[in-house]
């Protein structure tokens, strides 16, 4: 539930609130094996805030902590949850941070 809230806040441009929510979920998702998703969302928040170096660092962390990290799969997971205009912006930010 918090992951979806963080994503929604990102879509609304509430980056500081989204960052706080996503960071708060990290301990739980690390236990549940969803850390790649959360770290990618967090990297996008940093990218959208204009902090490219932090975004790249967070995405690198996602790749290191998730053996099966696959950007295309993570973006496909997000594709059904938000409008197409924001999804394009989100995808572009994710690709800049993670590739």
Angle at 5 between CA 4 and CA 6, to 5 degrees: 90
CB 97 within 8 A of CB 55: yes
Domain membership of residue 84 as a residue range: 2-98
CA 43, 93, 6, 69 dihedral sign is: negative
- pLDDT tens, position by position, 3-34: 788 888 998 999 999 999 999 999 988 887 77
User: What is the pLDDT confidence band of residue 69, given thresholds at 50, 70 and 90?
Assistant: confident
Indicate the number of domains in the chain.
1
């Amino acid at each position: 539930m918090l992951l979806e809230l963080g994503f929604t806040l990102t879509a609304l441009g509430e980056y500081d609130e989204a960052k706080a929510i996503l960071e708060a979920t990290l301990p739980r998702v690390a236990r549940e094996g969803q850390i790649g998703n959360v770290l990618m969302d967090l990297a996008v928040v940093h990218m959208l805030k204009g902090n490219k170096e932090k975004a790249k660092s967070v995405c690198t962390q996602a790749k290191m902590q998730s053996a099966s990290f696959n950007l295309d799969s993570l973006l496909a997971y997000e594709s059904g949850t938000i409008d197409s205009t924001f999804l394009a912006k989100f995808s572009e930010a994710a690709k800049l941070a993670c590739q």
